[in-house]
Amino acid sequence: MQPVKRQAFVVGLTGGIGSGKSAAADIFAESGAAIVDTDRIAHALTGPGGAAMAAIRAAFGDGVLTGEGALNRAAMRALAFESQDARKCLEGILHPMIREESEHQCLAARAPYVILAVPLLIESGTYRERVQRLCVVDCPEALQVLRVMQRSGLEESQVRAIMAAQVGRAERLAAADDILDNGGTIDALREQVAGLHRRYLALAATAKGL
């Protein structure tokens, strides 16, 4: 008899840069959810000896590698900025690998439900089909700018340029099943996550026919 493939109940977590996705994911994790984070997966794939590095080296040469054999992010960013073909080529290597690894981690997760954190979930299109529910972390744009400037030391214009390349706040909110308002304190975020955690436990149990 074929083993029944376990289907995880997957909640997509997204939001603009600096909205508080990582903060929210950390609180979901403390509550007992499994976290699958596509940013973290991309980092691992492009770290020293990462699974994507052979293909990246073959496509772009040693110039985009660090001494340890990891992706030299600054060099790659400069290349991708100059050439749309280079950016497309890098995405062509990384996106299928990220997709496959995140699917694998969702299926392997041993938790009542999975939070699949994808910064550009709405922009990427296909991830929407892979999640049963979509949770958007939201805060006013001025606060996003401030938080990213404090976190990274970027200039306001640089943060605004990144935000301009992302889907707008209204479109993101329109796509959401659930919204975490992170315009307040971390404690206020924590309280909202606790409420959603209870809801997701119930939804996951129903989805599994428990």
Which of 15, 112 has the CB closer to ligand ADP? 15
Residue 118 C-beta: closest distance to ligand ADP, Å = 11
Can you tell me which of 35, 45, 52, 189 binds ligand ADP, judged by CB under 6 A? 189
14 near ligand ADP, rule: CB under 6 A? no
And the tokens for 101?
A: 């690894």
Taking CB under 6 A as the criterion, which residues in 85-144 touch ligand ADP? none
Name the strands in the sheet holding 114-117, side by side, starting at the edge strand that comes first in the sequence: 34-37, 114-117, 10-15, 133-138, 178-181
Say how far apart CA 46 and CA 81 lie, in whole Å: 18
Say how far apart CA 113 and CA 106 lie, in whole Å: 9
- Whether residue 53 contacts residue 66, with contact meaning beta carbons closer than 8 Å, is answered with no
- Pattern of binders to ligand ADP over 141-170, x per CB under 6 A? ------x---x-------------------
12 near ligand ADP, rule: CB under 6 A? no
Residue 13 C-beta: closest distance to ligand ADP, Å = 9
- Whether residue 123 contacts residue 167, with contact meaning beta carbons closer than 8 Å, is answered with yes
Residue 100 C-beta: closest distance to ligand ADP, Å = 23
20 near ligand ADP, rule: CB under 6 A? yes
DSSP, collapsed to helix, strand or coil, labels residue 10 as strand
Which of 75, 123 has the CB closer to ligand ADP? 123
182 near ligand ADP, rule: CB under 6 A? yes
Say how far apart CA 24 and CA 107 lie, in whole Å: 22
Say how far apart CA 45 and CA 39 lie, in whole Å: 10
**For binding to ligand ADP (CB under 6 A), which residues are involved?**
15, 17-23, 147, 151, 182, 185-186, 189
